[in-house]
Each structure stands twice: as C-alpha cells, then as structure tokens.
Amino acid sequence: MTSPNTRSLPLRHGLFLAVGAALAQPALAEDAAVTTQLDAVTVQGEYIPEPMAQTAEVASFVSREDLQRTGDGDAAQALARVSGLSVVGKKYVYVRGLGERYSSALLNGSPLPSPEPMQRVVPLDLFPAEALQGVTVQKTYSVRYPGEFGGGVIDLQGLMVPEEPFLKLDVGIGGNSVTTGEAGLTHNGGGDRDWWGYDDGVRDLPSEVIRSGQAVTRANLGTAAIRQLGARLNNPNLYVLQQKDSIDPDFSFGASGGTAFELGDGLKLGVVGVASFDNEWRTRTGEQQNGVFTADGADLYEDYAFATTRNNARVNGLFGLGLQGERHSLAWSTLYVHDTVKETKSRAGYNFNVGGDIREDGTLWLERELVNHQVSGKSSFGEFDDLVVEWRLASSEARRNTPYESSFRYGSVNGTWLHGPGNNWLRFGAVEDEVASGGVDFTWSLPFERDLNLGFGVAYSDNDREAVQRTFRFDAGGASLPQFNQYQRIDYLLSDYNFLNDIVVLNEITANNNGESAYTGKLLTTAAYVQLEGELAPLWRASVGVRYEDATQSVTPRDIFSGEAIGGIYAAPPLENDYLLPAATITWNFADNQQLRLGASKTIARPQFRELAPQQYTDPDNDRLFFGNPFLVDSELMNLDLRYEWFFGAGEYFTAGLFHKRIDNPVEAVIGDFGGNQLFQGFLNAPEATLHGVELEFKKYFDPEAAWLQGGRLYFATNYTWSRSEVNAGENDTVIPPGFNGAPQAARSFVRDGSRMQGQSEHIGNVQFGVENEDVDLQATLVANYVSERISVRGRAGQPDYIEEPGTTLDLVVRKGLDFGYRHFKPSVRFSARNLLDTRHEEYQEVGGSRIDLYSYEPGISYDLSLTVEF
C-alpha cells in the first residue's frame, strides 16, 4: 500500500512532440503524467479510451485510423460521421443543428481566417485528410477555448512528427455518374494553367482601370478612354461558353513522408511533409425558381432550368519541423491550401420582370488560398513536471479572388435568343482575411493528495478583413442595339469595332454611395482564464473555470476609389463588449467503465463580417444575392449537458446524452425584397430561441466464426441525434431586419413564434458497418448518413420558409493491401463510391399542394480508385 503522501513516478518521461499539438486544449493525460496515489484506489476505467478518461468535457474524437477507414478526403467529410454534426454545402459543419456561426474551427489550437466573403468560419473542405492527425469536437465549453462557442469547437490537429520514418505515394482516378463521359459546359479561360487552379494573369483587372482612381464612365474619363478600356477589358476566352462532349475523369496524386533524427543529449529532430493535388469535374442540371404564394397557389417570378459544370483544382501542402527534448519541445508548421473552382453555367426560362423567357450565360473563376504558420512550444518544470507551460504564435492569411465573373442575358424572340441592351456585366471581387494570434497556458499540479491541476492563461486574436467588388456593364450605345448586332455571337458583339464605334459602351456600375462595394472588418479579442481541473474525490473529476473576454468588432464601409470611410445609415458603431464566461463540468465514474458527465456554461456568438457588411454578394452555389445588416448584436448562450458513457470493451461503447441551450438574440437568415421582385438574403437578431435534444452513440466489434473472415472481425457503429428548437417572438418584441434602415419592426412579421431555428434538423443519424482483417490487410466500410429537413432561410413576411432536404446518403469505402513479398514495399488499393442512393439535392418552399423548387439538382454517384505505395 502506498503512503498517501507518496508521489508516483511519471507514467511517461519527457514530452511527445507533435507538429500542431492542440495547445489550446485542456491539459490531458500527457500533462497529467504526475499522479497522486491514494489508499484503496479503485480502477474502474479499463476500457475507457485515453482521451475520454482524461477530460471532463463532452467530446468526440476522430482519429487518423477513422479517417483511413471511411476514406474521407477532407475534414468536412469526416465530421459528417460524428454524432450531432451535419455538413452543409459540403464544407460548413453544423453542431447539434446550429448553424456554422455557432461553431468555431481551430488548427492546433489557433484560430483561422476564412477566404469566404459570406462566412467568418473557415470552410472545412479546405483541410485534406492526409494533413490531419485527428480532429477533436468538444460539445461542452472549456474556458481554455475562445468564448465564441455555441454548438461546439472543432480543433484540427496537424499530422504528427513520426516515431519511425515513412514515405507514402499515391495516385488516383475517379468520376461521377452524371458528369464523367457526359456532355458538359466549359470555357477556354486562361489556358493550360487553369487545370492546376492557377491563373496566369490573364484575368487581372487592367492597370488602366486601377490607375483611373474613379468610376469608369464616359462622364469621368471621356468617350475616347471608354472606347479603349472597353476593348481592353474584352477577352472572349473568359466568357464564351463551349459544350464539351465528354467531361474528363477526376485525377489526383500526392506524397507524404517524415522522419526523426537523434541529435544526442536526449534531443530529437522531427520533420514531416505532405503534398497533394486533386482535379475534379462536376456537372449539375436542375431547376431554379422564385416566387410568392397566393390564395390561388404559387406565382413564379423566375422559373429556370439550369446546367452548370465545375472544374475544381486543389493543391495542398504541409511542412512541419520539431525539436524534442526531455522537458522542452519546439514545433513549427506551415499549411498551404490553394483551391480553385472554374465554373461555366447557363440557365433559361421565364422571368416575370422581363415579361417573357430569357437565357443567362455566365462564367466564374473562384480562387481560394489559405496559408497558416504556427510556432509552438511546451516546457515542464519540477521533479515531477509540476508546472507545464505551453505557448503558441500563429499567423494566417486567407484570400478569395473572383476575377472576370461574367453574366450575359438573351431574350427570346420567335424562338431565337437575341441580345438585349443591358444585363451584360463583368465583376471583379477580392477578399483578404488575416489573423494574428497567440496565447500561453500554465498548468500547475497542486501539491495535494489528489490529482488537481490549476490552469490559467492569456490569449489574443487580431482578425482583419478587406473586401472589394467592382462591376462593369456593357450597354447599348444608343437607345437599343441595332437589329444586326442583336443576332451577333457574344464575342462578335463585344468586338473592338463595336466598342470603337459606340455600338457597345463600357459603363462601371459599382455601387459606392453606402459602401456596398468595399468594406474593412476588424475583430480584436483579448482574454484571460483560470481553471481548476482534476479529481475532487475518488471516481469524481471536475473542471471549473471562468474566462474573461473583451472584444471590439467593427465593419467600416469604404469609398472603393479613395479608401475613405463612409458614414451614414450603414456605418454602425463598433460592437464593444466584455464578458465573464463561467464553465463547469463534472464526471462521475460510478461503475466499472461507466461515467456520467454534467456540464453547464455561458458562451457567446458574434455576428460574422458578412452578416454586418452592407456589401452585396452573389453566392455561386445557388445564385442567391446576399446583403448584410449593420445593426446585428452579439448572441448569448446558456448551455446544459448531461451524458452517460459505457465502455464495455476495447473500442466499444454506448453513450446517451441530453442537452439544452437558451440563446438570446440568435442571428437568423431571412429573405428580403429590394423592390421590383428582386430578392436577397439578409440577417436579423431574433428575440430568443431554445434548443434541446438527445444524442445516442453505439459501437461494437463482432468476431464471427466464418472461414472467409478468419483473422478478422466485423464492425458496427451508429449514432443518432434528435433535437428540437423553438424561436420565441412575443407580441411586443421587435427586430431590426435588413432593408429597413435600422428602424425596429414587429418581430412576428419576420419570425413566426414557436418556429424552428434556421439551420436546425430534427433528426441526424449515421450508421457504419464494416469488416477489418489485419491478416489479409483488408478494410471495407459501408456508411449511411441521414439528415432531416431544415430551414435554410426564413421566407419573407407572410411567406413560407425555405426548406432544405439533405436526405439519406450511402457511401462504400474498400481498402485492400497487396503483398508482393517485399518487406519495405507495401502497396494498397482503395475504392470508394459516394451517394450510392443517388440522393437528390432539394431546396424548396411549400404550402398545401403548391411548391416552388428554389434550387434542385441531382449530384450523381461519385467514385474513385487509388493506388498507394508505402516505403
């Protein structure tokens, strides 16, 4: 029997160095290596996984093995398998039915910028699975994390520096049932470099336009200059649509490797690198409608059939370098992601405002880039690592460029498409988002009999964004185009001859009076916290703490030409708030391998830049116009969680949880009307909302006595989340909706009392069934995912909400190792098929038997085959 005052030796001496260790996470087992042994200690956690046993929080973990089993290509795909999570638009994660604004993403504990103009949250499809060691999703709040915590925090961990050298090469080919080998749309663009996703400068805004320092109009620059600039902006390769008879297959290749070097005196130098390239084609054909419901049914403003072909090229790279000693470690990592979409689209159908049928052709080059640098360190002091100090510094920059986005409209006359006098434009947009962040965390093992740690630390984050957008229209030089020119092909219509003879005139229509085309955003956050974590009594663990967070957030509309700030109705004052955010979680290991967790916390959610900014954006995913609301305020959340966990075998478990949230001033997406039946999507603060639900998880291995499975086992895992939300709007409550110049309006005119929250699904379920056999190096997994309908956007006053129906998807992933008798040469093949049920994407409005199909298409079945060689 050990004396109550005897300290046990550390379970693990030294520190395990990882490029991208999650330094902002609560100190877990690696930091709790120094333990206190008490008389009559009862061990009741033989099967409780290490991460689950060492944290009091409610959390889910995606390991590198999980990523390999399901064959997911990026973080967004992987997180769709986690209990309570759903993925929207294949890139934004909704935790427990709450929108992406209620979740935050960190890379190795540091915040990330977003290259998207309409989100501050970084899209998770940017992070390739090859560059990740794992993902932690924490659903109860810990004060070590930033205070913006609604549904949860997603902490991506970069690939570890390996204990043993490795080198892996892979190449793959794939396709899609409605795309590959089928006819599609394309345009020449910038030539061969487009395939790699890099523009060669052909899409740059001409220097003459930039140097003008003012709107490009006849009144400002004169007729001669406008003629020359019209010809200068014209490039048929960037807007002339072509039909491609057979769309190419997908293609990918990549490499990853790492090693470690012993430097002597207990020092080890580790290095790891990942690089990959993917090129993918996808065609969508479907319906786009807009309209209103009347007593007689649905009246359509727009009724289009559309076809879109996208070529997506992505380059990824990660490099890490680390130095590990007995008690000190230092790590540096750089992540680079370059993701480009080249889109060609056409839609045709009825337009109410025109009074007949029209056709609109368009092209888009959407280039996103993310560069993240991080330096981190960890040191321990004292004979038994009594004090652990962790620090991190990170600098991230995200860019989004949309040069030469084009749209050209045709009218139907006796079945022939003719050019009209307007609605032909080019648009140039750019967003730059930068985040500089840092923090230091101290964990002190208190000199008591029990395992108690006092944690405290400070953190800061400085997020700056700049966004600009310029739009140029090609107008008729006279009252209308001459009849001959109306029949010209678009590149002939925009010929030098027509510009020089004023048949077609360039005219900049960039809105500049209220900053709709340029703004800067800034969010400066400083924080400090203190937390006590550890064993309160035998079999009881707790984490109790409080975080102080101060933030100033502003969006400043600017004159796009002078850069000066613009006043007026859209120049809302900064949001300056400070909060005390308490959090407590208690874990009771009441029986062998069984635990109960209870958590309570207060957190916040701030409006995103795009929600505050008056700038107009068109979402390329659904052609919907967005417009911000500068009168939004912070949301405040009260969170309660109760969870039961039973780990009845190694890697096997059953969990059941209850959660409840109350949200003051939740931000909701709503549809507004500019007038003339021109709809847009905006945002408002609803008065209050509540969310509650149940989460269930189960995982079990089976060892059937079957000859074909000798040496292997079957695997079954499932999770299900039921949740219900309710938005409360009293008779006297008011809201400030977009488009009303800051004037309060009756809340019930925009938010139905008792309705569901926007973005929340009542049912989310996942089922995985697979086989694993190490003897023959085989893994096969069938994965089913179901997400019930949710409100994508609130409809206009008196109109039904927009409903999105994700439905059920079924995926198959098979990986088989090949043995050629070479010990240092390990090839394997992997095959995956996604959306085997060919589930259709649907977004609609519906009343009674009348329905408006807002955006519907068939994504098809995707498949890929890859060969991997490990050395």
The Cα 585–Cα 145 span in angstroms is: 14
How far are the Cα atoms of 480, 516, 561, 630 from residue 511, in angstroms, in the given order?
24, 6, 11, 17
- The pair phi, psi for residue 209, each rounded to 5°, is -70, -45
**What confidence category does residue 159 fall into, taking pLDDT thresholds of 50, 70 and 90?**
low
Most confident of 436-440, 645-649, 770-774: 436-440
Instruction: Give domain status of residue 385, yes or no.
Output: yes
Instruction: Give domain status of residue 35, yes or no.
Output: no
The Cα 153–Cα 175 span in angstroms is: 34
What's the distance, CA 49 to chain centroid? 28
**What confidence category does residue 35 fall into, taking pLDDT thresholds of 50, 70 and 90?**
very low
E-state strands within 633-687? 635-649, 652-664, 667-673, 679-685
CA-nearest of 450, 393, 414, 627 to 39 is 450
The Cα 175–Cα 831 span in angstroms is: 12
State percent of the chain over pLDDT 70: 85
Instruction: Give domain status of residue 854, yes or no.
Output: yes
The SS3 of residue 230 is helix
CA-nearest of 805, 643, 664, 582 to 58 is 643
Say whether pLDDT at 562 is over 70: yes
- Please name the amino acid found at residue 608: Q
Q: Domain tally for the chain?
A: 1
The Cα 799–Cα 490 span in angstroms is: 39
pLDDT tens track for 817-841: 888 777 778 899 999 999 999 999 9
pLDDT at 404: 93
Say whether pLDDT at 547 is over 90: yes
CA-nearest of 141, 97, 151, 88 to 723 is 97
pLDDT tens track for 664-699: 999 998 887 765 566 788 899 999 999 999 999 998
Q: Which residues of 144-169 are buried (b: 16+ CB within 10 A; e: fewer)?
A: bbbbbbbbbbbbbbbbbbeeeeeebe
CB 372 within 8 A of CB 337: no
Token duo for residue 322 = 């680390």
Say whether pLDDT at 4 is over 60: no
- The three state secondary structure string of 297-323 is EEEEEEEEEEEEEEEEEEEEEEEEEEE
Instruction: Output helix, strand, coil percentages for the chain, rounded to the nearest 5.
Output: 10, 55, 35
**What confidence category does residue 496 fall into, taking pLDDT thresholds of 50, 70 and 90?**
very high
CA-nearest of 691, 807, 627 to 99 is 691
Instruction: Give domain status of residue 728, yes or no.
Output: yes
Residue ranges making up the domain that contains 318: 50-187+239-476+511-870
Neighbours of 526 (CB within 10 A): 15
- Please name the amino acid found at residue 772: E
The SS3 of residue 500 is helix
For residue 597, give the CATH number of its domain: 2.40.170.20
The Cα 107–Cα 337 span in angstroms is: 13
Q: Which residues, 6 or more positions from 708, have their beta carbon under 8 angstroms from its beta carbon?
A: none
Say whether pLDDT at 707 is over 70: no
Distance in angstroms between the alpha carbons of the first and the last residue of the chain: 49
Say whether pLDDT at 15 is over 50: no
Token duo for residue 408 = 């050209």
The Cα 466–Cα 618 span in angstroms is: 17
Q: Whole-number mean pLDDT of the chain? A: 84
Residue pointed to by tokens 């030409």: 561
The Cα 853–Cα 844 span in angstroms is: 5
The Cα 230–Cα 221 span in angstroms is: 12
Could you say which DSSP state residue 154 is in? E
Could you say which DSSP state residue 799 is in? S
CA-nearest of 26, 98, 163, 80 to 583 is 26
**What confidence category does residue 77 fall into, taking pLDDT thresholds of 50, 70 and 90?**
low
The Cα 707–Cα 711 span in angstroms is: 9
Q: Which residues of 611-624 are buried (b: 16+ CB within 10 A; e: fewer)?
A: bbbbbbbbebeebb
Tell me the pTM. Answer: 0.85
pLDDT at 740: 83
**What confidence category does residue 31 fall into, taking pLDDT thresholds of 50, 70 and 90?**
very low
Instruction: Give domain status of residue 495, yes or no.
Output: no
- The pair phi, psi for residue 432, each rounded to 5°, is -125, 125
Say whether pLDDT at 3 is over 60: no
pLDDT at 348: 95
The Cα 530–Cα 439 span in angstroms is: 14
**What confidence category does residue 41 fall into, taking pLDDT thresholds of 50, 70 and 90?**
very low
Most confident of 5-19, 101-115, 235-249, 308-322: 235-249
pLDDT at 450: 84
Say whether pLDDT at 274 is over 80: yes
pLDDT at 30: 36
Mean pLDDT of 565-573: 80
**What confidence category does residue 650 fall into, taking pLDDT thresholds of 50, 70 and 90?**
confident
Give the chain's length: 871
pLDDT at 87: 65
Considering all CA atoms of the chain, what is the largest pairwise distance in Å, rounded to the nearest integer? 101
CB 290 within 8 A of CB 302: yes
Mean pLDDT of 135-152: 84
Say whether pLDDT at 774 is over 60: yes
Q: Which residues, 6 or more positions from 550, have their beta carbon under 8 angstroms from its beta carbon?
A: 525, 526, 527, 577, 578
Mean pLDDT of 229-233: 91
pLDDT at 183: 97
> Residue 266: which region, alpha, beta or left (left: phi > 0; alpha: psi -120 to 50)?
left
The Cα 697–Cα 718 span in angstroms is: 6
Token duo for residue 721 = 């989340």
Instruction: Give domain status of residue 41, yes or no.
Output: no
pLDDT at 38: 34
Instruction: Give domain status of residue 158, yes or no.
Output: yes
Say whether pLDDT at 112 is over 80: no
Q: Which residues, 6 or more positions from 609, have their beta carbon under 8 angstroms from its beta carbon?
A: 120, 465, 467, 519, 521, 523, 555
Instruction: Give domain status of residue 39, yes or no.
Output: no
**What confidence category does residue 52 fall into, taking pLDDT thresholds of 50, 70 and 90?**
low
pLDDT at 120: 52
CA-nearest of 86, 89, 115 to 103 is 86
Of 108 and 364, more confident: 364
